Amino acid sequence: MHLVCYSPKKRESLQQAFTSQSSVKIVGTKKNSKKCFNADTEDHCISKHARISPAHHLSFPFNPSMGNRLHTVKQILQGDMYEIVDLKVKTITKSQSKQSVMKNQVSMQKIDTILADDTGTIKLILWEQLIDSVHSALSYHFNNLTICIFDDEKFVTSNEVAAVEPIDDITIHMESPEIRDNLLVGQCIAIPINKSVMKQLI
């Protein structure tokens, strides 16, 4: 089944339980009246007054394959809104200036980036503490990104539990139309040379 949580505080408790591979007991879920995810599964959400507490003596072991959220860009573009995913991608572009916006009545900063792998490109919105951890032309493993949709465009965004770590360079086929649309190509036509520098070189 799919269980959706909208409370940042409760999501933090669930993330901690997932990281430590520990069991939890959730009291206060309700079934969604409309299907939001896979039609073959039941969709529930955690209510505002739900309680999350440690659980013990479950009859089945932890299954690590269920926690594998690594997706390609193509899979994310076909994924469900609010799904939490991981990505291994290269940063194609990163905005130079930060934008200040009001989020939950708090002023926060964000920037837009374009990510790519061999399956496509996607926009990533980076918030606050992750902004300075990402640079153009470098490859990263992003964890716990949220899939969002705005004006029929699907993108991913960081959240309070998102993380990023540098990885070995990912080779991207730069000839793909998606990547070419996000690249600027220039040509150097002149270089100013200082005479004093020339004397030092001689």
- Within a domain: 145: yes
Model pLDDT, residue 21 = 78
Q: Say whether both 71 and 159 belong to one domain.
A: yes
Q: Say whether both 115 and 27 belong to one domain.
A: no
Give the separation between CA 177 and CA 66, rounded to whole angstroms. Answer: 34
Model pLDDT, residue 32 = 74
Q: Say whether both 93 and 49 belong to one domain.
A: no
Among residues 22, 39, 59, the one where a domain terminates is: 59
Radius of gyration for the alpha carbons in the chain, expressed in angstroms and rounded: 22
Model pLDDT, residue 46 = 87
Total domains in the chain come to 2
Q: What sign does the CA torsion over 50, 156, 17, 41 have?
A: positive
Model pLDDT, residue 36 = 53
Model pLDDT, residue 173 = 73
Model pLDDT, residue 110 = 93
Q: Kindly give the parts of the chain with pLDDT less than 50.
A: none
